[in-house]
A and B are shown apart, each in its own frame.
Chain A
Amino acid sequence: MREEYAARLHAPNMRHIFICGGTGCHATGSIAVKDRLVEEVAARGLGETVRIVETGCNGFCALGPLLLVHPDNIFYQKLSADDIPELVEEQLVHGRQVERLLYRDPQTKKPIPHFGDIPFFARQQPWTLRNKGIINPESIEDYIGRDGYLGTAKALLELTPESIVQEMLTSGLRGRGGAGFPTGMKWQFAQRSPGDVKYVLCNADEGDPGAFMDRSILEADPHAVLEGMIIAARAINAHQGYIYCRSEYPLAVRRVQIAIDQARALGLLGRDILGSGFDFDVEIYQGAGAFVCGEETALMRSIEGKRGMPRPRPPFPAHKGLWEKPTILNNVETLANVAQIMINGGAWYASVGTEKSKGTKVFALSGDVNNIGLVEVPMGTPLRSIVYDIGGGIPKKRKLKAVQLGGPSGGCIPEAHLDVVVDYEEIAKVGAIMGSGGAIVMDDRTCMVDMARFFLDFIQDESCGKCTPCREGTRRQLELLEKICAGNGEEGDIALLEELSAMITESALCGLGQTASNPVLSALRYFRDEFDAHITHKKCPAKRCAALLDFTVNAEKCKKCGKCYQTCPVQAIAWQKKEVAVINRDICVRCMSCFEACPFDAID
């Protein structure tokens, strides 16, 4: 069966058009592009030789809607439905490229037609994302054609539960959800826990702002995650699994449900999987929007239908988890690696990476960087290479200030430490964490005091309120930072922030509170001068904190273009052609519109 499906994927006389149907491309209009494509192909009678496939996220979301023509491997970007007739005529009928729709190198402006030559893709190593953009996530046949369910078959028919765990230990795979705990060890604990009823859970809550790899994996390759769960279940002898997915991800929920139904229909879920005598089934559980529910004990409470409150550990979930039964919880990305490890062996996986961090890691690269999207690199890759070689550097020739890694539990890595390599321990050394892999690039217009305030605001919003240090302590920290941003900072505020941080870190109940101060501490570590500027000199060097801005037009920099005049929503700006604009500060509401609009940084 696999050969047949594989043959379909590689049929020599067929053209395949992989059009991205990820959330990002849907938002930019890929459905209309696809409809038009289907129409055009039919109208020209090309139906026999052209196969149109709607895939999950291709990874280069910022360029959507995008598509790939296979086997020529031509990459087209930023399409609209109106581009399609020309594209079909030129590319499919005559085999000529449509130059204006090709990707262009941001520096040289030269078009790069071949997918594999685009630096964003060329320097990646797609293991976890091996199927993204080239299979139809709603077709189990496509998946099987790409070695799908081979890992499951091997684990269920050839390996013992002990040897599954052994392969996982050998692979060195560590949890991709944040903490980086060795997956094999987690499974081993649960395997050794006595009990007839056990559970396997998949954490698809993806609460970290700036992270979207789990969403993309679920939307692009849902079967890979199911396989990971089946193999985990076999390892610990569980018969029921749940995927805890946030309700903000409707497309992911839909595609996973389709995958579950298809797997059941083929006997890959349910009773007696592949004739192995092993039973396992999976259900989706939709979350209801609470960041703390990504924390493992809170997540289990939530599946039980209660408020998602964390509880102290031990007992660890491997002994007492969901409904007090032994449970393993793994992240989406973690699980998506498992089947490949079964097929190729743990040693294969461990052959890539650093001493303590093995394999590859997916990053969601966003913020002030040219190539925004999903990036998968071997562990050990320097962060600088991710930002510059793959990410294409900072737009508008601005300077990089920091890369924020690890979300609200993480920290920022300043330019000076950008050569740090992707490795759990190395990243921790410079004061951030790998976290789930959200990498947000910030240029010199970002105010680090404001960012620290932003993260505490997040934590305050999302704290479940069960323990006092987290509930009250972070509120005090937030108040202090708000005060500093508003220009009312006093001497001693920084010391107080540090004192509070130490206290909260030590006494909070769960990971949320224990790590809540990290963004503040890391900002203080590398950008203390910015705090001083706010407190002592009442200045915001990055010009982000409105209260500390003057809102005057710098006559030297002003090029008299009138952009500020046009954008001001309250008509506070006077401007005439060939004149420097003037801001009337009595009318100005400090909304920053003019500041954002000015192409010459002429607003002070």
Chain B
Amino acid sequence: MSCCNHTHGVAVGCCGTAETASEITPDQWAEVHAVIARHKDTPGALITVLREAQDVVGYFPPELLDCIAEGMNIPASDVFGVVSFYSLFSLSPKGRHTIKVCTGTACYVKGIREVINRIASEYGIREGETTEDRRFDLEGVRCLGACGLAPVMVVGDDTHGAVSADKVLELLKKYT
């Protein structure tokens, strides 16, 4: 069963729109629909659905937002309102590796600013941007809760403590 009673061919999107430009694969659509079906009757589950859908697709292209709105029976404008409010959600495609640099107080006091500057100048990206080759996203996060290791940076699932401007480029080399 799908969210909005449409079948999903490769070229036809959730809600009947032609989807030639979409990067969402049929498998991903199927997973998204499973997510919606699992939660559609739970009040307040929108954020959970969005989180799980983003895990599948990586970000929110417009057709995905439309599909979720329809499937959850929530106005598209409300869905967009929620997506744009929370920092976890992204409206643009992400890089292969997300670098989350902690910009919390402890990390700031211990010199995260220099680390960010070094990454920014090496890869030509600022906070919130993705490198042209989609290798890295640079994201500022307000305290990762590992302040004991400040300054802290998370790349993908790996937490790196006590990073320094000196060593950070070396450390990023293995993420290709």
Contact = CB atoms under 8 A, between A and B. Distances in A.
Given A307-B82, A446-B109, A288 B142 contact: no
B148 A304 contact: no
Nearest to A24: B148
Contacts of A211: 143, 145, 147
B44 A212 contact: no
Q: Of residues A249, A289, A446, A464, which shows the largest number of chain B Cβ atoms within 10 Å of its Cβ?
A: A289
Interface stretch (A160-168, A500-508, A590-598): A590-598
A314 interface: no
Contacts of B152: 27
Given A305-B46, A569-B121, A592 B114 contact: yes
A305 B111 CA distance: 37
Interface string A582-595: 00000001011100
Interface in A10-49: 23-24, 26-28
Q: Of residues B47, B105, B142, which shows the largest number of chain A Cβ atoms within 10 Å of its Cβ?
A: B105
Contacts, number: 158
B160 interface: yes
A247 B106 contact: no
B165 to A, nearest CB: 6
B37 interface: no
B110 interface: yes
A461 B142 contact: yes
B121 A24 contact: no
B142 A291 contact: yes
Interface string B141-176: 111111111101000001111000110000000000
A208 B146 contact: no
B160 A27 contact: yes
A487 interface: no
Interface stretch (A230-238, A351-359, A366-374): A366-374
Contacts of B51: 247, 286, 288
A462 interface: yes
Interface string B116-153: 01100100000000000000000001111111111010
B88 A247 contact: yes
Contacts of B86: 287-290, 308
Contacts of B47: 286-288, 302, 305
Interface in B42-86: 43-48, 50-51, 78, 81-82, 85-86
A593 B143 contact: no
A517 interface: no
Nearest to B143: A209
B79 to A, nearest CB: 10
Given A23-B146, A212-B146, A247-B88, A306 B105 contact: no
A295 interface: no
B118 A442 contact: no
A251 to B, nearest CB: 10
B143 A305 contact: no
B164 to A, nearest CB: 8
Interface of B: 43-48, 50-51, 78, 81-82, 85-89, 103-111, 113-114, 117-118, 121, 141-150, 152, 158-161, 165-166
Going nearest first, the 8 A-B pairs with the smallest beta carbon separation are A209-B104, A61-B148, A288-B86, A209-B143, A27-B159, A305-B46, A305-B44, A289-B87
9 contacts: A207-B142, A212-B146, A248-B144, A302-B47, A305-B45, A305-B82, A446-B109, A591-B118, A593-B166
Given A289-B86, A458-B103, 14 more contacts: A26-B159, A61-B146, A211-B143, A247-B51, A288-B50, A289-B88, A290-B86, A305-B44, A368-B109, A372-B150, A438-B105, A569-B118, A569-B121, A593-B114
Interface of A: 23-24, 26-28, 61-62, 64, 206-212, 215, 247-249, 285-291, 302-308, 323, 364, 366-368, 372-374, 404, 407, 438, 440, 442, 446, 454-455, 458, 461-462, 464, 567, 569, 589, 591-593, 596-597
